[in-house]
Amino acid sequence: MNAERLQKILSGHGVTSRREAEKMILAGRVAVNNATAVLGQTAVDGIDEITVDGVSIAPKGGLVYIMLNKPRGFITSMNDERGRKTVMDLVADVGARVYPVGRLDLNSEGLLLMTNDGHFANAVAHPSNNKKKTYDVSVRGDVSTAEELLSRAIDVGSHTVQAVSVELIKRTTEGGVLRIIINEGRNRQIRNMCLKSGLAVQSLKRIKIGALELGSLKTGQWRRLTEEEKKSLEH
């Protein structure tokens, strides 16, 4: 097996990005075979023992694939310097060190995938996978033209985005609930699209990724994916 830079190995296991991995190495948080690692060091994944903060990055108990119904008020991160609640608090009983695939921001909720399989995470998150993501979004404002406006190409600063489809599923006294399907998953994409269309997001819940549905899974709870569900996300 070939030796690889530690940053690449840590990223491949979904521990963090390569840039953040460099910071972790410089901070002395990474060790290889019980010796503190240095920047530029290489190791052989699966042979050398690599730990972060004393915890091995190698999956224990095999590879794990779960879906979590993320509540509002939790950040999608392994840890938080500001002491905020993270999704890791909700999956402490999984029995393995898992990490999020993609993100839902602090005030968003719903379907979040988590795993300890870096190859699966990369396959699902890669743009070529083209998995549609479905959200139920409660908005305040005039929803009479929402379907037309959100289906157009919208400039949100550094890029242009648009919804695959938009459906008004409920009217409310302040606006309505929209079912929005997108291909991309850019940071705060739907919130920015709504803002540009004169709508204020009150709540946002992801209910589906590809063919995988959140279903009746309760808020704050998780369950393992079936083999069929896992395969549907990879292809």
Q: Which residues are catalytic?
A: 105
**Which H or E element spans position 36?**
strand 35-36
Query: Residue 161: how many CA atoms within 13 Å on its side-chain side?
Result: 25
CB neighbour list of residue 235: distance below 8 Å, 6 or more residues apart: none
CB neighbour list of residue 59: distance below 8 Å, 6 or more residues apart: 96, 97, 116, 117
CB-CB contact of 200 with 210 (8 Å): no
What 3-state DSSP class applies to 222?
strand
Phi, psi of 15 (to 5 degrees): -65, -45
Tell me the DSSP string of 156-217: -SSSEE--SEEEEEEE-SSEEEEEEEES---TTHHHHHHHHTT-EEEEEEEEEETTEE-TTP
